[in-house]
Amino acid sequence: MTSPQISSAEYYDGFWERFGTSANQHPANLYRYNLIHEALQSLPHGNDCLIDLGCGNGALIQQMQAKHSFQRFVGFDTSPEVVRMCQRALPQYEFQQADLQEAPLDKWASTADVVVCTEVIEHMEVYKPLLQSAATILKPGGLFILTTQGGKRRRHDIELLGHVRHYDLDALAEDVGRTGLSIERKTKSGFPILNLQKIAASIFIGKVRKELASPAEPSMLFRFACVIVGWGLKLSARQHGPQLLIAARKV
């Protein structure tokens, strides 16, 4: 089956209508937020601005605001409908529309202390302009945190989530380094729990589609499974697994 692409307005405009409810409870998302929180611990106090490239429903910004003392949060998304949704639901933050597969965001040069891009580039046909945008909009000394998926694309990755590709950590770090950023950290994590979760999601894709791709509240069984996976992720490996994270500094 052909995977839905992030460049398809019809698909992406409705993505968060389908996945917004379940995404906020999914343990893999909460696991990633914790990894990002940890990467931000090296920052000095008093940072002004965090920019989220590919902000989706704004959940990451809300997570970051709860634990970090930034004065300004800005989310960019490709979809005008997603941006309007965020502006209505989260008026305390800023949201901007931009095609993240196009030229870098020069008007925002040297604006952000931190740029985060989490679980976005695996959806993109063209991803290197986004990396260059991150380097452009960071202030000197600013930190870029990128998360995405490695390893095999399984059935649910392609048919349900629309992943165009998964990445090799070292090759992706080289792409980030070519923007002029200095790599500080590159990690794989989540083994074996994320691997098993992906296998199960692909085997039971019909059930997963019903639970995840729906604005309805997930069932009790789904919520129980999330608790089990969440506990497992707390014990999972920090050296191996399909969850990739790169942290890079603008020198």
- What share of the chain has pLDDT > 70, as a percent? 90
Q: Which two tokens stand for residue 39?
A: 């990467």
Residues 6+ positions from 2 with CB-CB distance below 8 Å: none
Residue 57 three-state SS: coil
CA distance linking residue 114 with residue 50, whole number of Å:
5
Residue 52 three-state SS: strand
What's the burial of 120, exposed, middle or buried (CB within 10 Å: 0-12/13-18/19+)?
A: buried
Q: Which two tokens stand for residue 250?
A: 């603008």
**Per-residue pLDDT tens over the stretch 58-96:** 999 999 998 888 999 999 999 999 999 999 999 999 999
Cβ atoms of 73 and 50 within 8 Å: the answer is yes
CA distance linking residue 237 with residue 29, whole number of Å:
16
Phi, psi (degrees; rounded to nearest 5) at 121: -70, -20
Q: What is the pLDDT at residue 2? A: 36
Peptide bond into 192 cis (omega under 30): yes
Q: What is the pLDDT at residue 21? A: 64
> Picking from 21-25, 30-34, 104-108, which range would have the lowest pLDDT averaged per residue?
21-25
**Per-residue pLDDT tens over the stretch 152-195:** 999 999 998 899 999 999 999 999 999 999 999 999 999 999 99
Residues 6+ positions from 28 with CB-CB distance below 8 Å: 190, 194, 197, 229, 233, 243
Mean pLDDT score of the chain, rounded to an integer? 89
Q: What is the pLDDT at residue 90? A: 96
> Picking from 10-14, 41-45, 199-203, which range would have the lowest pLDDT averaged per residue?
10-14
pLDDT category of residue 17 using cuts at 50, 70 and 90: low
For the chain, list the domains and their CATH numbers: 9-249 (3.40.50.150)
Cβ atoms of 155 and 202 within 8 Å: the answer is yes
